[in-house]
Amino acid sequence: MSILDLRNIYKTYGKGDNEVIAVDGISIKVDKGDIIAIMGPSGCGKSTLLNILGCIDTPSQGEYYIDDFQVDFKKLNQLSKIRNEKISFIFQNFALIKDLSVLENVMLPLKFRGIARKERVNKAIKYLNELDIFNLKNKSIRQLSGGQQQRVAIARALTQESEIILADEPTGALDQENSIKIMKILQELNQKHNKTILVVTHDNLVARFCNKTLKMKDGKWDSIK
């Protein structure tokens, strides 16, 4: 059963001679429980495609269905509800709040879901421990290295325990040992809890943890394995 279904999606920027086609007629069906790597050279449209899948960006043309429900990109409340309830993100630039502690950052999305503080704390601590950063829980984001911030961003996404996880270069700031650890955690979520995971990556090591690899070139699919 398809949980995500993109149909003939385009994303263009600019007009006339200045028009740039970032996503060029992409269609894809993602089955529940898939773990997919999206690869390709810089500028090929990978991150733009991921943002459309996550209802962060709006396509210029095409249709998008989640669980057979058509997304209306004109309804901001609907988009916010989808992001809050169905999708967790691991952003390439971390998107952490600098003035909050590690624990506060990881708990924050759960607050928007109306989850009680005790449960928020317990869930956050669980994933901080899994990622070996529990000792950082009271530090501010400003005190952390890039690799540490990456792991906080991943912990925040995992704490939401959403049905769908979208990750943009989730191991980009990590060494090989920690990259493997992160991918094993994502793989375990996929295998034990049937989470659907899409990962934008340049790293063949990351792709080896996925059951399917999609390669993009110039906004289109180049190959599917």
Could you report the per-residue pLDDT of 80-124, keeping only the tens digit for each? 999 988 999 998 888 999 999 999 999 999 988 889 999 999 999
Can you give 116-173 as a three-state secondary structure string? CHHHHHHHHHHHHHHCCCHHHCCCEHHHCCHHHHHHHHHHHHHHHCCCEEEEECCCCC
Interval 178-204: pLDDT, tens: 889 889 888 988 998 899 999 999 999
- All domains of the chain, ordered by start, with CATH? 1-86+163-170+196-225 (3.40.50.300), 89-161 (1.10.8)
C-alpha span between 43 and 125 (Å, rounded): 37
Q: Where does the pLDDT of residue 139 fall: very low under 50, low under 70, confident under 90, or very high at 90 and above?
A: very high
Q: Do 59 and 10 form a contact (C-beta atoms < 8 A)?
A: yes
Alpha helices in 25-145 (DSSP H): 46-53, 76-85, 102-112, 117-130
CA pair distance 59, 48, nearest whole angstrom: 9
